[in-house]
Structure 1
Amino acid sequence: MHTSPRGSLVALSLSMLLASLGTSIANVGLPRLAQVFDASFHAVQWVVLAYLLAITAVIVNAGGLGDRFGRRRLLVMGLLLFTLACALCGVAPTLEWLIGARILQGLGAAVMMAMTLGMVGDTVTKERTGRVMGLLGTMSAVGTAMGPSVGGVLLGVWGWRALFLVGVPLGVLAAALAWRYLPVDRQHGTATSREAFWVPLREPALRAGLAMSALVSAVIMATFVVGPFYLSHGLGLDSAAMGLTMAVGPCVSALNGLPAGHLTDRFGSQRMTLTGLGLMAFGALSLSLAAGLLAYLASLILLTLGYSLFQAANNTAVMSDVAASRRGTISGLLNLSRNLGLIVGASGLGAVFAWASPDVTHATGQAVANGLHVTFAVALALIIAASTFAWRRHSAVNGLQNTR
């Protein structure tokens, strides 16, 4: 086994890419699955929900297991479970089989997400943590953006089974790279149950980082839930134009991930967290007033730029000073907060949109635009709340430094 920083980063990046791709690539196949299995939309929707709920349910425990038994070893096991589940999905004879296999795939993805962030500190120096967090954020965005486009090609050429079977060779490759290049697990000692959720002196800073992650993720999820309705019913775009417009956000995240990491390393995570939230606030405010495609795109780009910067800075702030024996657990908590935010964004802000624009399928363009405006006015309030947590963390960290 040969340890290589570059090989390690490739292994971590591919793991993050696969976990994100596992979410977005299945969405494009839902209409086909409904036809193949003669099922309702609500039934095939569980193909997506099962994956997300499995990740949410076990990701913190996955982080703790990595701290206890070794993060490299557990990451390889997670990748192999993910790969096996992809194969089981691809040969599924019934919808129930497919949903069960998606649960297994989500369990593997939970391990992959927790270990990927948790191993950054094992792979690079503290001074380079920000840019690696930015790289992983880029890979997450790339995976999300690739899902609909790559999935559409696979679906058209080879059918729905290819949506899942494509993960088999990629999972095997990622597992081989992880086993060959990631650093061998070292015994750091194990955290007690109390230590897993309590950080001496830095507890307020950790809680602030997790709360901000959840709030900001909810806002970003609203763009995926509300955006399609505004673009199609509010602006009258066809499916192709809507798909291209929806891809702008993930593409901006992908391009901005590495620069965001470099800025975090240069100017500090606290300052860049506040800067990212400021950009997001302007973007949400613009969306609450947007009229027309250009205004929507400009607002979306601003919001996404802020999110990329916030994500790199906040992840760096949360993970940089964590003891080696607890990185997996804290990484799991960070991913849990993000997933909970995504669920809240889809349900909570989606409910706000439905309230502000009832009967959306028959609503006028102006009514749908009103729903967009009300939803992102509420989203702006969430970003302001996140900003208060950022200021509290800033004060807590400065106070801690002053006492040393």
Structure 2
Amino acid sequence: MPHPTPALPASLGPIRLGLRANLAQFVLLVAVNALVGGELGQERTVVPLLADQIFHLSAYTAALTYIVAFGATKAAANFFAGTLSDRFGRKPVLVAGWLVGVPVPLMLIWAPSWGWVVLANVLLGVNQGLAWSTTVIMKIDLVGPARRGLAMGLNEAAGYGAVAVTAMATGAIAAHSGLRPEPFFLGIAYAALGLGLSALAVRETRDHARAEAALHPAPRNPDRHGELTTGRIARLTSVGDKALSSASWAGMVNNLNDALAWGVFPLLYAAHGLSVARIGLLAALYPAVWGAGQLLTGWWSDHIGRKHLISAGMLLQAAAIGLVAVGTAFPVWAVAQVLLGAGTAMVYPTLLAVIGDVAHPAWRARAVGVYRLWRDGGFAVGALLAGALADAYGIITSIWAVAALTAAAGLVVAVRMYETHPRPATTPR
């Protein structure tokens, strides 16, 4: 049966929670997040090839420094996005994220050295951390508790669908016109449109979170509800609460293997003689299935719960990464990318829904920020780990190591996480 729309106190005026009640703003935020994803997608095919073919970086660790820079700055920006959006409002943080992102495609076009590419990815990390985190927080604000999984599925589907479309488009453009500058013209258009929509059309949603918080005046559990300091929230999300901390670990490993897919897989494909266009297609397959799959999996988690979907998704990712390691041709890698996308679709919106389930509306934005700090820190950890192992033992060894870590994360969720969705009759441990 559908959840009823919560009744809000009269003092909160016309504010209403729910997807249908806030459909226009929700759809606008979906479009904005697609543009955020497109800003990331402009790099997925072209930048690894820039490292190899333009800047001639022979060591994997050196070639992956741009992902380290991106992951570290995005992780930090995620943390501050939650805190700043609670203090100053969601919209100013979203606009600030787009302002920082505007120079990125221009720097990639004009970069005279690899250091410029790394610096561009510092700015890209801030852009993604502030803008993507804020669209997540704003959608959670708008929809309330009943459709949180669906909302996260739509948000992440839009973002990673745009990553896929842009990765494939830039690969096709690069195959026709070269690696620079034409593939990055898409990024210029995305940044201009995203900034314009965020500044002129998006409305503030912080009052929706306050409205939902007013429905929970009495703490159910002092460790999960009520006003907490940012430090206490960080500890709860990182280690204290079994669901929040398990989600944080799974999220970090998920993006650790995404760093592998972003930075190492294209180099593996190129070493086997694949064309730029075919590399672009493989780079697009994974986020395409990931993005489209979240339209189902977010909704599905609202009906069957979160825990088992996450655990199964991590194990499927591990199997897919192993298939990349044993493959030597396009058809096998294409199947692996489809499976990797399906596994990630099971995990990604569901982890965000876990944070929304457990965190009280009064401190939910900061919990999302802490979770995304850990999750996107996985980019930096993954790039460093994959690069070091590839340089020391070969690229296949690095892929198998990440597959093993991903399987371990799935088992941690299966053993440690409690079910967080309010519908299943499960008691938190």
TM-score by length of 2: 0.74
- Cα separation, partners in 2 of 1:164 and 1:102, compared to 1, 3 Å: farther
Give the alignment partner of residue 389 of structure 1, picking from 377, 395, 412. 412
Structure 2 residue 262 is matched with structure 1 residue 224: yes
Structure 1: runs of 5 or more not aligned = 358-370
TM-score by length of 1: 0.78
Q: Distance in 1 between matches of 2:392 and 2:263?
A: 14
Q: Distance in 1 between matches of 2:44 and 2:420?
A: 41
SS of residue paired to 2:146: helix
Amino acid paired to 2:197: L
Task: Output the aligned Cα RMSD.
Answer: 4.0
Deviations 1:330-382 (A, max 9, x none): 2212222222112222221233233333xxxxxxxxxxxxx43x333322321
Deviations 1:147-202 (A, max 9, x none): 334446778599467355311133212333322x7464665696423333133996
Say if 2:260 and 2:386, in contact at 8 Å, map to a contact too: yes
Deviations 1:290-316 (A, max 9, x none): 353323222222222111101122221
Q: Distance in 2 between matches of 1:340 and 1:184?
A: 30
**1:210 aligned partner:** 248
Give the alignment partner of residue 261 of structure 1, picking from 288, 298, 303. 298
Q: Distance in 1 between matches of 2:48 and 2:258?
A: 25
Amino acid paired to 1:272: L
Structure 1 position 118, deviation (Å): 1.9
Say if 1:119 and 1:327, in contact at 8 Å, map to a contact too: no
Structure 2: runs of 5 or more not aligned = 1-13, 214-225
Structure 2 residue 212 is matched with structure 1 residue 175: no
**1:120 aligned partner:** 139
Give the alignment partner of residue 134 of structure 1, picking from 134, 146, 153. 153
Give the alignment partner of residue 252 of structure 1, picking from 263, 284, 289. 289
Higher helix share: 1
Q: Distance in 1 between matches of 2:262 and 2:156?
A: 18
Amino acid paired to 2:93: L
Structure 1 position 47, deviation (Å): 7.3
Q: Distance in 1 between matches of 2:149 and 2:81?
A: 23
| Percent identity over paired residues | 21
Structure 1 position 53, deviation (Å): 4.0
Give the alignment partner of residue 20 of structure 1, picking from 13, 24, 37. 37
- Cα separation, partners in 2 of 1:298 and 1:89, compared to 1, 3 Å: closer
Say if 1:67 and 1:190, in contact at 8 Å, map to a contact too: no
Structure 2 residue 402 is matched with structure 1 residue 379: yes
Say if 2:85 and 2:365, in contact at 8 Å, map to a contact too: yes
Q: Distance in 1 between matches of 2:334 and 2:150?
A: 27
Structure 1 position 107, deviation (Å): 3.0
- Cα separation, partners in 2 of 1:93 and 1:280, compared to 1, 3 Å: closer
Q: Distance in 2 between matches of 1:177 and 1:124?
A: 19
Structure 1 position 269, deviation (Å): 0.6
Structure 2 residue 327 is matched with structure 1 residue 302: no
Structure 2 residue 78 is matched with structure 1 residue 59: yes
Q: Distance in 2 between matches of 1:31 and 1:345?
A: 15
